Amino acid sequence: MPSVPSPQSASAVRLEDLEDMARGAAFLGAGGGGDPYLGRLTAQHAIQTYGAPDCISVDDLDDDAPVFLAAMMGAPSVMTEKITGVDEIETALAALEQHLGRKAAAIIPAEIGGINAMLPVAIAAKRGVPLVDADGMGRAFPELQMTTFAVYGVSTSPAAVANEYGEYQIINARNDKRTEDAARQLVIQMGASVGLSCYPMLGSEVKRTSVHGTITLALGIGRAIAQGRKDGDPFDALLAYLRTTDYYSECGVLFSGKIADLERKVEGGFTRGKCVIKNDDDGDDMEVIFQNENLRASVGGKTRCIVPDLIVILDADSAEPITTEGLRYGQRVKVMGVSCAPNMRAPNALQLFGPRAFGLEEEFIPIEQRINGR
Amino acid sequence: MPSVPSPQSASAVRLEDLEDMARGAAFLGAGGGGDPYLGRLTAQHAIQTYGAPDCISVDDLDDDAPVFLAAMMGAPSVMTEKITGVDEIETALAALEQHLGRKAAAIIPAEIGGINAMLPVAIAAKRGVPLVDADGMGRAFPELQMTTFAVYGVSTSPAAVANEYGEYQIINARNDKRTEDAARQLVIQMGASVGLSCYPMLGSEVKRTSVHGTITLALGIGRAIAQGRKDGDPFDALLAYLRTTDYYSECGVLFSGKIADLERKVEGGFTRGKCVIKNDDDGDDMEVIFQNENLRASVGGKTRCIVPDLIVILDADSAEPITTEGLRYGQRVKVMGVSCAPNMRAPNALQLFGPRAFGLEEEFIPIEQRINGR
């Protein structure tokens, strides 16, 4: 667990934390994961109605406590067009609980990046169970099987998928990729974005497989940006904070410029495309390619940062993270590269979500080897 | 319950019953339902291994006894190319039991026509639970929602679909047609033919909604044909037996001739097409159109029998029922029309599986009104 300088511990996710947490989740979404501001509204409503949920460290989790994921699945471009309710997630969660014959003692986010960082807050609040301060990515990823849970041996299935009509399907597939494929089919059949619970775990498995402390980290990132704006330079404050963390300490601003070209389409349930950023001083352009999340940032054909390290495009002034859907022609932006969690860089982890898992024919090279003068 | 002249009651489905039962199931398949001879081999193996399952009347069923369907789903043309195991049905059954938190006290066939009449014998034998002497059609139909269970208010879902790799999905849809659509998608995704359990019921619901006594009837039909072959005329024996039954008593040979044309293709998971039968005496041809099952038999454009009444094509000499897949150019055949069960002719039943449900733009007119000189 990283040491977090914030005076508030993550003992509860309070109403006044949500704005910062959503900003941090947008940052850790690395362009993807869906817009956390929608999730924030959902979480806000749930806390106002049911009270703030406790947020507990993985260390405080009983080894045999049933822990359930709560998430939405679908193309972020579609999610932003639908009102995101908690109903479909609750339907999926209840179906999986019923199927397994055990009740959630705690809720864990699948991914700390994007909307799926915020929606579990609402579910935990409504259910009156704690939220686990951890996730399966330390960022966001486009596919179900791209988690540390899977890397370290937890099965994606049984998984439950549900829509807003109370319909659900429970998937039990022979491997994680087939679970992803089956769930993706259901996204298309059941309504473009669906509620999801998968990777049912016990506390001991959460401890062993998750990326720890990431709710606290999202909150810390969001706060650092907000505080930096008051103090004069949000990028300085953000970088200073990241350098205090265990995972995200290798970081830097890779590029500054203006969005000069943008290709983006929804295809096979994903938002795919690229954006070209023009340098302020007529040097080479930066190209960022994405599949929901930003996958590779390169300048003049040379890779500067690559998945699973985080590539984040931010507003050049406010350091507000910009999601793939939020990119606009002419925006002035800075592009940051940030190291991912160490358990996401192991060889079997890179097989699941390294460059080649996204069809990029190059090795993963950690950001610190690139920014420290390679 | 019809009075059955057979000396054996249906108190157990014995090894020596299987041949006759399969022949009766082929007859009640009305061309569809998949080849019951494959199912017979499966049932035979199960009885040899686990002993003969009891076959109980719906009257002997406790009102609160959990009853589960056991079936295969897929295009019959595909089923005949795969070895039909009980594994996928058992996986589906166990998944649905686990999901509902109750164990099958008895097994009921979805349809008494075709392979799905025989496979439940194997499942009941293996599980050591009785088989209920009833089904949801009194024949075979191509779609999940086309049952008396659905007509009289039992929900198709939750439904479990499984393949031979132990993969399963549980479907909970908002109406029966959406369950059918979802299951049909899984047939395509999971392996062209899948194991299925749906319409989970209690004994009281089975009593109220099913077509009673149909296992006994299938056995009686098969026996009548076999006995008739020994006595000289299987058609006479068959018609004589059918006239003693409650449901199938309105019956007759509509046409005799030779198959002169045959169109048949697998499309959207169904075997669709038509066959033309040339009259022995140069009169008008008979045309039989089918979607898995025979839907309409017409002569010179005039309908002689139409779904849900049964249209059965049989070998002209042996009275062996011929499935849609078994039709061959040049075969000498007789075509029979047979009345369906009364609870399948109610207006809401006809909505589900009357002519218009299959895209045929005509009213259902009972066979007895046609053969008795309309």
If we measure between CA atoms, which residue out of A358, A327, A332, A333 comes closest to residue A262?
A327
Instruction: Tell whether B165 lies on the interface with A, counting CB pairs under 8 A.
Output: yes
How far apart are the two ends of chain A, measured CA to CA in Å? Answer: 29
Residues of B in contact with A178 (CB under 8 A): 167
Residues of B in contact with A98 (CB under 8 A): 99, 101
A168–B189 C-beta distance less than 8 A: no
- Search chain B and give the residue with CA nearest A179: B167
CA–CA gap between residue A315 and residue A321 (Å, rounded) = 6
pLDDT of B79: 54
Instruction: Tell whether A230 lies on the interface with B, counting CB pairs under 8 A.
Output: no
- Search chain B and give the residue with CA nearest A159: B169
pLDDT of B107: 98
Instruction: Tell whether B170 lies on the interface with A, counting CB pairs under 8 A.
Output: yes
Instruction: Tell whether B168 lies on the interface with A, counting CB pairs under 8 A.
Output: yes
Residues of B in contact with A189 (CB under 8 A): 181-182, 185
pLDDT of A79: 54
Q: Which residues contact A256 (CB under 8 A, 6 or more apart)?
A: A279, A280, A316, A332, A333, A334, A335
Least CB-CB distance to A172: which of B95, B181, B189?
B95
pLDDT of B141: 93
- Search chain B and give the residue with CA nearest A163: B173
Instruction: Tell whether A171 lies on the interface with B, counting CB pairs under 8 A.
Output: yes
Q: How many CB atoms lie within 10 A of CB A287?
A: 18
A93-122 as b/e: b if 16+ CB within 10 A: bbbbbbbbeeebbbbbbbbbbbbbbbbbbb
Instruction: Tell whether A174 lies on the interface with B, counting CB pairs under 8 A.
Output: yes
- The predicted complex's ipTM stands at 0.76
What tokens does A289 get?
């390619």
B166–A182 C-beta distance less than 8 A: no
Q: What's the CATH number for A242-371?
A: 2.40.390.10
Please work out, in degrees rounded to the nearest 5, the angle formed at the alpha carbon of residue A84 by the alpha carbons of A83 and A89: 145
Least CB-CB distance to A172: which of B167, B171, B181?
B167
CA–CA gap between residue A165 and residue A3 (Å, rounded) = 43
Contact present, A222 and A112 (Cβ < 8 Å): no
What tokens does B165 get?
């790799």
B182–A185 C-beta distance less than 8 A: no
- Search chain A and give the residue with CA nearest B186: A182
If we measure between CA atoms, which residue out of B79, B137, B83 comes closest to residue B108?
B137
pLDDT of B37: 83
Amino acid at B150: A
Phi-psi region of A153 (alpha: psi -120 to 50; beta: other; left: phi over 0): left
pLDDT of A372: 63
Least CB-CB distance to A101: which of B101, B167, B168?
B101
**CA atoms within 13 Å, Cβ hemisphere of A366:** 17
A182–B174 C-beta distance less than 8 A: no
Q: Which residues contact A4 (CB under 8 A, 6 or more apart)?
A: A213, A216, A217, A220, A244, A245
Domain boundaries, chain B: 15-212, 245-371
Residues of A in contact with B189 (CB under 8 A): 181-182, 185
A167–B173 C-beta distance less than 8 A: yes
| Helix, coil or strand: residue B142 | coil
Mutate to test the interface with B, among A156, A170, A190, A196 (most CBs of B within 10 A): A170
Stretches in chain A below the pLDDT threshold 50: 1-10, 373-374
B99–A98 C-beta distance less than 8 A: yes
Instruction: Tell whether B351 lies on the interface with A, counting CB pairs under 8 A.
Output: no
Residues of B in contact with A195 (CB under 8 A): none
A174–B172 C-beta distance less than 8 A: no
Mutate to test the interface with B, among A167, A168, A184, A185 (most CBs of B within 10 A): A167
Cis peptide before A109 (omega within 30 of 0): no
Q: Which fold has domain A15-212?
A: CV3147-like fold (3.40.1610)
Least CB-CB distance to A189: which of B101, B170, B185?
B185
A167–B172 C-beta distance less than 8 A: yes
Residues of A in contact with B165 (CB under 8 A): 174
Give the position of tokens 């290709």: A263
Tell me how close the Cα of B95 comes to any Cα of chain A, in angstroms: 8
Q: Which residues pair with B272 in a beta bridge?
A: B265, B291
pLDDT of B244: 97
Cis peptide before B158 (omega within 30 of 0): yes
Instruction: Tell whether A155 lies on the interface with B, counting CB pairs under 8 A.
Output: no
Contact present, B307 and B353 (Cβ < 8 Å): yes
Tell me how close the Cα of B227 comes to any Cα of chain A, in angstroms: 48
Instruction: Tell whether A46 lies on the interface with B, counting CB pairs under 8 A.
Output: no
Dump the DSSP string for B151-162: HTT----SEEEE
What tokens does A43 get?
């979480």
Q: How many CB pairs under 8 A join A and B?
A: 47
CA–CA gap between residue B103 and residue B81 (Å, rounded) = 32
Instruction: Tell whether B172 lies on the interface with A, counting CB pairs under 8 A.
Output: yes
Instruction: Tell whether A172 lies on the interface with B, counting CB pairs under 8 A.
Output: yes
Least CB-CB distance to B170: which of A169, A173, A174?
A169
How far apart are the two ends of chain B, measured CA to CA in Å? Answer: 29
The predicted model scores a pTM of: 0.83
Stretches in chain B below the pLDDT threshold 50: 1-10, 373-374
Q: Which fold has domain B245-371?
A: CV3147-like (2.40.390)
Q: How many CB atoms lie within 10 A of CB B259?
A: 20
